[in-house]
Structure 1
């Protein structure tokens, strides 16, 4: 080829190649998201894994270099700051408005100020005999069932509709028993309360979808749905511990499902709670934040959602702030709401913290291989025997 033809040919090839690159680059830059949500359920953005990587848990146990005592102090301060919408020291001013004799104990309907805003009706079971007695605060589940709350754990009276509803609930989850009454038979003072939106604190027609409006309005009012529940649980624990018939050194929190979340949360936040039973609500935040997980569906998550908590603490970190208090945690091996891998990861953190506090004997964790999301008679009996042992009974 003649030399004077080489340069023009090379230039034309380069121009053509550059034009192709430019065209490809233009096409690439023109691309944009046509689907940013992972499924019709709209539970996750496609970039959720990137967001999960930013969940720092900066005060979590795995990043801790402090003593167990200082870690607990720092963690409790941050948890209380994020979870509680405000502080409340309103006098309780309780009054008993009704009671029935149940043999070894008396069942009372007691009204008291659970906050500056709300005066509520609760069930109080008091053993006969000379006190003070050990006590337990029962924290009910979510279940998307709002007509009953406190009635899920303690058998009601003079209310046929709620009695029928709660008996059906007991048959479904508790082997036909009312766990609060079962513990009262063992000589415990029992308090069972309604969370905001359940039982006497609900309204006809309140549904899972109603929670979104309630949660949104509470956000605008400077609080949160989950924060109000947490604060009222805290106040209920202080009320129970203040009762003259209660031994203040032996006050437990007992919860199933959402109530289990409330139980470990309260054990971490309240000095009035000295032990806790947690059934069917434990896992790591990342392990539960997976497509299809029930925690993230619908509006029910608002009752357990504390904005920005993942910047500082994971779920097992918060629960572990209660160490070295005694804690029993159960999970069902067939419980699809809580994947076993996530549960075991959470258990590892819990055991590490109790071991660091030289209190390994105060923590018991167990996955029941054949159980689903439930608190059956055998689980109750084993849990209550454990509590008797912790309270030296």
Structure 2
């Protein structure tokens, strides 16, 4: 009995000695104790995060996957992606209904309702050029920006709500050189559609600090913010393809910031998207997961987080599911949200995919040396001129 008691005391002696010796460095105390220290979380990362990153080899990326046929690879990679959305595909009838239409200079402003899922009937805004159609079209995908009172209004000027108009004009001044990209595209001859993601605009009520709780509750309900948003964006693309004013063979996805992420994501998931313009959201995953990066704060990341995906595909691998269709990616060199290395890695990976399909000319990437996280009028003009040529 005495021998067992002494044995137990000897087992307890190492951590006790570490705690009783404050002069020991943390690493020394941890080594002496044989377990991780209380400071195992540093900057929202575990101290072993580099080892976790090293385990990510992206085995499903083209051309390292077992298929040598590109179409077979796309089918398998897309199926893997879709299996991780935590949200089933939805084939509920869209049942679009126009509820308001107003003339503007060179185009018509329209509000319509449609079933974005089997659970949600939402209001969308649309601009349709004057004259005979069908027209090329753009699905406009709004950003995050921690601004929830406006969603679709960030891209199409709201004519129906004075308070939202004030907010939207301030947003346009901050990020778009005072321009509403949707209205500008309409003057160039595009039909445009914008829909609120869950949490913004008509579907608001969300605050920045509430995103984690919303995400947790959706996970508990068998869904996720990112998966739901991805499925809803494919439904909006499908809606555009049904409208008589739209040429279903010429539909683009256009977005900035989180909207840029949504743009290449919906192109990866939906065959309705013929071309993509993505501004200020592209990086390699490993290059994004570095101390100090905005993504590590969590909260907004839930809208761009599919648990388990990066065990299979890197971020640019997912975007490459849209190849060889035309895609335009643009970023500012001074963008604080993405490292220069991350952007370069992603652009290079994607260039190799398009080149493998003899379609390198259909992928355009551009970094603006003196700009940050913005989509200025000059950036828009370059992107939309490219869109004219490719759509």
Q: Fold conserved (TM > 0.5)?
A: yes
Tell me, yes or no, if the aligned pair for 1:261 and 1:282 is still in contact at 8 Å. yes
Q: Superposed, which structure 2 residues align to 1:86-235 within 5 Å?
A: 86-203=88-205, 206-235=206-235
Tell me, yes or no, if the aligned pair for 1:84 and 1:231 is still in contact at 8 Å. no
Work out the CA distance in 2 between the residues paired with 1:168 and 1:230: 27
Equivalent in the alignment of 2:304: 304
Work out the CA distance in 2 between the residues paired with 1:349 and 1:373: 22
Work out the CA distance in 1 between the residues paired with 2:99 and 2:374: 33
1:30 aligns with 2:51: no
Tell me, yes or no, if the aligned pair for 1:256 and 1:278 is still in contact at 8 Å. yes
Task: Note the residue ranges of structure 1 that are not aligned, 5 or more in a row.
Answer: 1-21
Superimposed CA distance per residue, residues 130-164 of structure 1 (whole angstroms, 9 cap, x where no aligned partner): 11110000000000000000000000013111000
1:61 aligns with 2:62: yes
Equivalent in the alignment of 1:249: 249
SS of equivalent to 1:80: helix
SS of equivalent to 1:321: helix
Work out the CA distance in 1 between the residues paired with 2:289 and 2:102: 45
Rg: which structure is higher? 1
Distance apart, 1:298 and its partner CA: 3.5
Equivalent in the alignment of 2:327: 327
Equivalent in the alignment of 1:51: 52
Superimposed CA distance per residue, residues 72-94 of structure 1 (whole angstroms, 9 cap, x where no aligned partner): 22111111221251011111111
1:369 aligns with 2:369: yes
Distance apart, 1:29 and its partner CA: 5.0
Tell me, yes or no, if the aligned pair for 1:139 and 1:263 is still in contact at 8 Å. yes
Equivalent in the alignment of 1:271: 271
SS of equivalent to 2:109: strand
Work out the CA distance in 2 between the residues paired with 1:202 and 1:196: 7
SS of equivalent to 1:109: strand
Work out the CA distance in 2 between the residues paired with 1:255 and 1:93: 25
Distance apart, 1:95 and its partner CA: 1.2
Work out the CA distance in 2 between the residues paired with 1:239 and 1:67: 31
Work out the CA distance in 2 between the residues paired with 1:62 and 1:185: 41
Work out the CA distance in 1 between the residues paired with 2:160 and 2:351: 45
Tell me, yes or no, if the aligned pair for 1:255 and 1:278 is still in contact at 8 Å. yes
Superimposed CA distance per residue, residues 284-303 of structure 1 (whole angstroms, 9 cap, x where no aligned partner): 00000111111221311101
Superimposed CA distance per residue, residues 290-335 of structure 1 (whole angstroms, 9 cap, x where no aligned partner): 1111122131110100000011111000000100000000011000
Distance apart, 1:62 and its partner CA: 5.4
Work out the CA distance in 1 between the residues paired with 2:244 and 2:179: 28
Equivalent in the alignment of 1:240: 240
Distance apart, 1:38 and its partner CA: 4.3
Please provide the CA RMSD for this pair: 1.7
Q: 1:316 to 1:240 in 2, by over 3 A?
A: same
Superimposed CA distance per residue, residues 175-226 of structure 1 (whole angstroms, 9 cap, x where no aligned partner): 00000000011111100110000000002xx211111111000000001010
Task: Note the residue ranges of structure 2 that are not aligned, 5 or more in a row.
Answer: 1-12, 19-30
Distance apart, 1:37 and its partner CA: 3.6
Tell me, yes or no, if the aligned pair for 1:84 and 1:230 is still in contact at 8 Å. no
SS of equivalent to 2:322: coil
Tell me, yes or no, if the aligned pair for 1:68 and 1:353 is still in contact at 8 Å. no
Work out the CA distance in 2 between the residues paired with 1:284 and 1:349: 9
Equivalent in the alignment of 2:25: none
Equivalent in the alignment of 2:27: none
Equivalent in the alignment of 1:259: 259
Q: 151-160 vs 92-101, which deviates more?
A: 92-101
Work out the CA distance in 2 between the residues paired with 1:30 and 1:376: 55
Tell me, yes or no, if the aligned pair for 1:106 and 1:128 is still in contact at 8 Å. yes
SS of equivalent to 1:176: coil
TM-score (norm 2): 0.90
TM-score (norm 1): 0.90
SS of equivalent to 1:251: strand
